[in-house]
Amino acid sequence: RKKDRASAALKAGLAKREAGAGGLFDFRSQAEKEQEADKHLQQLMAAQSEAVEEFDVCQEQAMVMHSCAQVAADSLAGMLCYVDFALRRMLHATLPRCALAWQSASDSLRETALRYRGRAQED
């Protein structure tokens, strides 16, 4: 991660600054070395701050996306509840009609069977 790398670089820069690191053949004055080290530390701190801000932005975007997904899931659940209610209502309305249709078909079959039995007995 960018944030972790920036933190590690900052820690390394601080350690180097505290150790007063310079090369074996470094002929610069102590003030120049400290100034360069301070400049490097400021760059590292700026990079770390940028990484933290970028992380915060990503975290906010993730929260917004999670919130949108939750709203969508809630909307879907509400819609499915409505569909379930509508289907149950339609089923309750059509069941008596279906029962009457089956009863009518049964009565017709019974009458036809009685007619055929009567004709068979006549013959």
Lowest mean pLDDT among 9-18, 47-56, 74-83: 9-18
Rounded to an integer, what distance in angstroms lies between the CA atom of residue 121 and that of residue 110?
A: 16
pTM of the model: 0.49
The position carrying tokens 């601080």 is 14
Q: Please, what is the Cα angle at 33 between 29 and 38, to 5 degrees? A: 145
Mean pLDDT, residues 84-112: 95
Mean pLDDT of the chain: 86
- pLDDT, one tens digit per residue, over 16-71 is 666 655 555 556 677 787 788 788 888 888 888 888 899 999 999 999 999 999 99
> At CA 17, angle to CA 22 and CA 45, rounded to 5?
130
